[in-house]
Structure 1
Amino acid sequence: MMGKLFFILATATFLVLFSACVERQVTGPEASGADFARGEHENRIIGSISDTPAALDGKIDIQGLGTFSFDPQEVRTVREDIFREGYFSIFDILVHLEEKGEIEIDYYFDKDMNTYVITDLNGHENWWYDAYYDGGWRERSVFRMDHYPYKDKMTINMLRQSGSYLDPIYETYRDEIRRKEENGGKTIIPEVIIEGQHETLVFENVEVYAHNLRSDMLQDGVITAIDTILTLGEEEKISYDLQWYESIGSAGVVKSYWVDRINDDVSYRRCGFVYEAGNWQFEFFKGNHVHIPSDIRVINSPQYLKYFRICI
């Protein structure tokens, strides 16, 4: 009964936020999908990247320890292979607090999972997080903590979990890295799904290439979820529009590219594309469907990636 109630509440909350995200004022050619048949329209990237580094003082709540403040301009990343100078992840905040002497943390880098693992934080193990951007809400995530980009007005909670909670998450990380190694270091996604109003497309074993769309935040060569759309567009398997949004509805800090069109399906008012990526074990609200814009969601080699259009 509690599980059903949680699903209903989570779905209702999702629909409210999604409504804010896709109810946009669309004018001109974007107002109708009729003109956008595949192959009859160029791929477009609309809008320019603005000033995106975090500038406002941030906070992180750590269960049992309290709330800690930090200046984002003082935080440095340990993932210099992912983030450019001035950008960092949730995990980097913890390292920063340790350097300031405010917490004690032990951790190591696990190359088989391509992530940092916390072994002890002030005498306790098995830590995980809840996080969401401005205008969002609490949601379950299985995304790597040291891949999760920080933004202004972000909410972050560090929580103690059990080993049985974390072990399945870590195993999917190992699966991804094994898959990538078996493919010679290439990011090849076994199944890419695009579900629109007019058609459903399924692509198998898609090799995704980096396009450096977010060269402000991410290092060259880092592959994100949106690179899947860019790759399929280059291969003339789809056509698309990407649109830069500074803010959307109640979300004041967005500063990302969103997929506004795939083939004939155009985002309009209460209809638009959302996405998820990861292992099928954690599909939808089980942990893969989190509201990290796809242009900054770094991927390793997920089991699937899906863009789907919904209307509310």
Structure 2
Amino acid sequence: MMNKNLKYGNLKKTTFAMMLLPLMTACGGSDSNDAPPPVSEIPEVELPDEIRNHFDLIVDTETAVDGTIEVYLGRWFPCMKGHEDMCSSDMPEDFEVPDAGFKNGEAFATASKYNMRTRDDSKYYMEVQLSDLRAWQEQAVRDDIFMPGNYSALDLMMYISSIRDDFEVKLGGFNEARQSYDFTVSFDADGDGTFDNAPATHYSHWGDYQDSDSWGVTLSHGGGDMLNDFNGYLETVYDRLDETLVRDGSQIRIQPVSEAYRDRVWQTHIDEVNFKASNGGKVILKEITLDMEDTDGYGDEFIKTIAQDVEVKAYNLRPDIYRPGVITSLDMVISANETAKEAGSAEFGFTFWPTLSTGSKLGSYVMNQISHPEVGPSNKLRAEGLDGWNYAAGMNEYTLDIIVTQGSWPTAQDFLDPEIAAEFELDRECSWLRESDGSITEIKAKECIDHWYGTFGGNKLHVAMDNMVRNHGMEYIYFSWVKKMFLVYNVSEVNSVNEARLMGDTYRFPAQVEKAEKIADISKAIAPLTEEHFGWNIADCQLCHSKDDIHKSKAVDTLERDEPYFCASCHGGNGAPEAHGETARCFWCHSEDKAMQNHGEASQWMAFSDVECSGFPQHMGPNAPSELFGPGSCADQVDKPNVVKQNWDGSKYNDLPAGRQQSFGNSDWYNTESFPDPYSCVTCHVTPKK
């Protein structure tokens, strides 16, 4: 049962700490050598075949028992005039900090590499260990949602409250209208030892707070060590904070918010509760929409409804995280497959992504395929490499709550200037903050920018569908086909065996491959190896054989190529396990916790300085500057500021330790010769036909 009667949230912190001491001792807290409480046993997932067949890969999922959550305290602003305290100390003394605004776009982009995450990392940045959370409290506040050992953003805030003297969270009662716990935050920003009941002169400035109910979180989607996307600090979270999962690798910012923002978030919760009530208590997904033009919800003529009125059931695909019966966005899409059988509508395919090659810890299921006439000639469109499916989910009222205009950080004056507002479509943003005639005040414009500027947030987060609780239903899930990311990330290796891409289907696959690689049909191998082969299941033939000492007495005097997948054309896959449908970027997942073994260079990490760009960056083509082809991967010399915050300087990348200044054997910029991705992969690892 949900512990709605928790009382400790209203106690003084000293009393709360005294209550926790015996619990921490018993559970392995800081004064004990005992282990933290164990995570509950994970029940098995039983899926009917008709559902399981929609998954290319189902794994025994397991939330990391240990791991780190990165926490930032306080609002974030880019390095710009008025916020010079957000500029790093390594910024050149003669560097002119730009004003915000679209007219300063180039200068602003240059300044972005000097952004600081907090005003003072020694005070406002911390790393929280999951083991410490479990030692503090075995069960999340929402024990009706989370399995023991899993925690929400609100739990994280309460834990931080227990270890800091300048930050205090008081848990209130369970709000039936919002179906979420109320809470307040006090913060002693000036360090005088008291919580003052004197708010800052403006909500966006750092000041003292006492018992404020206007606090929230943003999520950084965390591209891992190799990427540091600019808007990652500003993914505004509308979800209930006691339902928002934090896990190993989470990056979360705890910050004060305006009353208007708070009210907007609360209203989304109320609308969801009322939506469920209007459906007789059933969890309903009103529709799934499809957008082949990726218009972010604008341009209604491109948005097509492909599934409707889906009654959702829980498939319990994440028993390691959630209690049985908890509904996630993934359950909604799986349930749509059941509706599709009767309505002849869309069907969807899924696979599991582990820790990625960038170091981003995903560990979740993703939707990788939609089958529907709207997707193109074959009625089936599968994600491939950096071309894939984006999604948003929520209530219609809040679809466009983020400012999707691309450019530098705007100013309130940009909103007030009719020409600039029209040119960059700022005149359509934050309608709920505007006057009845559509005008907006300077104060409200600044509030709109501070809370809602960023490509992601609200209904559109970098959160996997199986990590989003949706117990009240939703009006829509929106899928868009993203076909620009190969260009955005400046790759030179498209790594594809997609026939449509090879044949020049530029509408769906604008980044083309330069040549077609022949994939052998190893079912027709003339001399397939068997389990008697002493190197059975070993991928790299050259561990035992060299091309100089084989086939000497056979009809073949010399080998055309010595790549193992060429050997497979005659000798079969040598026991290689079946594949699971992917046709590009196998290195994306098979790098960290799903690393390949005995695959030569493809199994190895390589220093950036040892890797040269294997082709032309997509947006530059053959006219790319010659300096891109010197030592160091061209991945680290691209000119897109939203790809890398601090570019490779020829010796180091982003001040990373030496162990992370590496590229995998196969990447978007380099293909190893012996096991090129994915040509060698799909030769031996064949996807079975369903």
TM-score range, shorter chain: 0.7 to 0.9
Q: What are the equivalent positions in structure 2 for 1:21-170 lying under 5 Å apart?
A: 42-53=53-64, 55-63=66-74, 66-75=124-133, 76-100=139-163, 102=165, 103-108=167-172, 109-122=174-187, 123-125=210-212, 126-135=214-223, 137-138=232-233, 139-170=235-266
Check conservation: 1:61, 1:157, Cα contact below 8 A: yes
Check conservation: 1:49, 1:244, Cα contact below 8 A: no
- What runs of 5+ residues in structure 2 fail to find an aligned partner? 1-49, 76-122, 134-138, 188-209, 224-228, 294-302, 372-379, 403-457, 485-690
CA distance in 2, matches of 1:53, 1:133: 18
Q: What are the equivalent positions in structure 2 for 1:270-281 lying under 5 Å apart?
A: 270-281=386-397
CA distance in 2, matches of 1:74, 1:158: 19
CA distance in 2, matches of 1:168, 1:285: 10
* Residues 1:267 and 2:388 aligned together: no
Q: Deviations over 1:209-236 (max 9, x none)?
A: 1111111111111111111221111232
Per-residue deviation at 1:284?
5.2
Per-residue deviation at 1:73?
2.1
Per-residue deviation at 1:68?
4.0
Runs of 4+ in 1 over 6 A off after TM superposition: none
Check conservation: 1:60, 1:67, Cα contact below 8 A: yes
Question: Quick one: which of 456, 466, 483 aligns to 1:311?
Answer: 483
Letter in 1 for 2:347: S
Question: Quick one: which of 187, 200, 203 aligns to 2:307?
Answer: 203
**Residue range with higher mean Cα deviation, 98-107 or 254-263:** 98-107
CA distance in 2, matches of 1:54, 1:132: 22
Check conservation: 1:276, 1:284, Cα contact below 8 A: no
CA distance in 1, matches of 2:252, 2:386: 29
Check conservation: 1:53, 1:87, Cα contact below 8 A: no
Per-residue deviation at 1:208?
1.2
- What runs of 5+ residues in structure 1 fail to find an aligned partner? 1-38
- Label 1:280 to 1:251 Cα distance change in 2 as closer, same or farther (>3 A): farther
Query: Normalising to structure 2: TM-score of the pair?
Result: 0.37
Check conservation: 2:367, 2:389, Cα contact below 8 A: yes
CA distance in 2, matches of 1:154, 1:213: 21
Check conservation: 1:53, 1:86, Cα contact below 8 A: no
Question: Quick one: which of 462, 465, 468 aligns to 1:291?
Answer: 462
Check conservation: 2:388, 2:482, Cα contact below 8 A: yes
Question: Quick one: which of 270, 277, 295 aligns to 1:174?
Answer: 270
Q: Per chain length, whose mean CA-contact separation is higher, i.e. which structure has more relative contact order (CA < 8 Å, sep 6+)?
A: 1
- Label 1:242 to 1:284 Cα distance change in 2 as closer, same or farther (>3 A): farther
- Structure with higher Rg: it is 2
RMSD, aligned α-carbons: 2.7
Letter in 1 for 2:152: S
Q: Deviations over 1:38-59 (max 9, x none)?
A: x9x9423413134322512434
Say which SS state the counterpart of residue 361 (structure 2) adopts: coil
- Label 1:120 to 1:267 Cα distance change in 2 as closer, same or farther (>3 A): same
Q: Deviations over 1:84-119 (max 9, x none)?
A: 111111111112233446432123221211122322
Say which SS state the counterpart of residue 146 (structure 1) adopts: coil
* Residues 1:245 and 2:353 aligned together: yes
Query: Normalising to structure 1: TM-score of the pair?
Result: 0.78
CA distance in 2, matches of 1:301, 1:240: 19
CA distance in 2, matches of 1:196, 1:73: 44
Check conservation: 2:215, 2:256, Cα contact below 8 A: yes
Q: Compare the two structures and name the one with the higher strand fraction.
A: 1
CA distance in 2, matches of 1:47, 1:190: 27
Per-residue deviation at 1:189?
2.4
